[in-house]
Amino acid sequence: DAGVIQSPRHEVTEMGQEVTLRCKPISGHDYLFWYRQTMMRGLELLIYFNNNVPIDDSGMPEDRFSAKMPNASFSTLKIQPSEPRDSAVYFCASSTRAGTEAFFGQGTRLTVV
Amino acid sequence: AQKITQTQPGMFVQEKEAVTLDCTYDTSDPSYGLFWYKQPSSGEMIFLIYQGSYDQQNATEGRYSLNFQKARKSANLVISASQLGDSAMYFCAMRSYNTDKLIFGTGTRLQVFP
């Protein structure tokens, strides 16, 4: 398996634009996590899915953020409209049930100017 | 609610020495797992070691060991015989077996010097 695949690796966008980050989890993994990493706040859990269903989105910072998982092999995190304070590295991770480690993608570095 | 605390923003260690990175946690769940990840400057997240809350023995993986003290709710990472390549950010994480939620601490930056 190729591992967790995120795209794009880097994204630079202007304030107010819509941004969509994509993630393909490892086949057979039924949990998918989205994290945001910043220097100030470390790795924050934004939302996680089990069998394509959102379980906990309490970490989503505000209504500008939304996430979907239309099928077992694809998830998106959308920011609309984007703001400079959204600049961060966004990670997607997948795993099987608790007791096993989560595997991370390479991350998407988002810069909003 | 779950919480992970890493109180050491940065640590220095000389090559070949051992170093302990602290991690404390809080949870009301009786069953959970504890993890450590390494993030080198290249940015990827690398899984290092896992400890289950019911495991009787401390986990070990090569030069990594996890000093698990359940009553104190601590899960410190011990790296023996440090190498220059160990310089990185280290994250402690906890996963509830009840909710499967996986959260991370703020990390400790380890620098190994010759």
Taking only the tens place, the pLDDT of each residue in A9-68 is 999 999 999 999 999 999 999 999 999 999 888 999 999 999 999 999 999 988 999 999
Residue in B91, B95, B96 nearest the CB of A43: B91
pLDDT band of A8, cuts 50, 70, 90: very high
With a CB cutoff of 8 Å and minimum separation 6, the contacts of A73 are A24, A25, A27
Q: How far apart are CA B26 and CA B32, in angstroms?
A: 11
Average pLDDT over residues B17-37: 96
pLDDT at residue A1 is higher than 80: no
Closest chain A residue by Cα to residue B43: A106
Instruction: Give A71 to chain B, closest Cα distance, Å.
Output: 20
Closest chain B residue by Cα to residue A46: B103
Q: How far apart are CA A43 and CA B102, in angstroms?
A: 11
> What pLDDT sits at residue A53?
97
Inter-chain Cβ pairs, chain A and chain B, closer than 8 A: 59
Cα within 13 Å of Cα(B95), Cβ side: 21
Give the rounded distance of the alpha carbon of A80 from its chain centre: 14
pLDDT at residue B91 is higher than 90: yes
